[in-house]
Chain A
Amino acid sequence: MKKIIMAVLLTGLLSTAAFAQTYDIKEMTPAVKAALESRKSRFSELKALKAQGVVGENNHGYVQALSGGSDAKALVAAENKDRKFVYQAILEQNGLDAGALETVEMVFGKVQRGKASSGEKVQDENGNWRSSQ
């Protein structure tokens, strides 16, 4: 009986290892590259707005205008459009269905919180805005 249980456990381990996969941008298509380069080009401007508290990182993996005028909002909209494109590319290239988008967004949000500089506004998992430590 013990041997059978061991066999089942071992098989489960083997099958888990077989199905474990690394999520990545597997193919750097021109569109994905453009979205990433576009994000890179606006990084400094966005960083400055974050330092002023005009823009924050929400808990869904997107930037959010917390104050500021139309320029800030336009920058936020452009950034979020590129981010969503990259998130969707990860879904498509890794065989994940659309339902996984929320998880991908949440994970990117967590990573952004971890990378935020001191004083920048971030939204925690409970939806509360705070200044990053």
Chain B
Amino acid sequence: MRSLAVLLLLAFCAGCTVKAIGDPNRPITINAHITIDIKGLEKTASGIEDFVSGGAANK
């Protein structure tokens, strides 16, 4: 039961939105580390290049 509570708490924290309250003239800067999904980007790049080449593969 305790582990379920922990799970729910962690799941809630993982999905929550962080809102900062403060002076709008002194905005808070949060530097987040973003990991780019390379495979997803490759798929997108491939699709764009296929479009540019007229739908046919370059080869």
Contact = CB atoms under 8 A, between A and B. Distances in A.
Contacts of A25: 44, 48
A11 B45 CA distance: 31
A125 to B, nearest CB: 13
Interface residues of A, number: 39
A49 interface: no
B10 A86 contact: no
Nearest to A107: B41
A31 interface: no
Interface of A: 3-4, 6-8, 10-12, 14-15, 18, 20-25, 36, 39-40, 43, 47, 86, 90, 96-97, 100, 103-104, 107-108, 110-112, 114-118
**Shortest beta-carbon contacts, A-B, top 3:** A3-B3, A15-B14, A115-B58
Interface of B: 3, 6-7, 10-11, 13-15, 34, 36-38, 40-46, 48-49, 51-54, 57-59
Given A18-B15, A111-B46, A23 B40 contact: yes
A115 B53 CA distance: 10
A112 B7 CA distance: 44
A40 B51 contact: yes
B59 A86 contact: no
B44 A90 contact: yes
Contacts of B7: 7, 10-11
B49 to A, nearest CB: 6
B54 to A, nearest CB: 7
Contacts of B14: 11-12, 14-15, 18
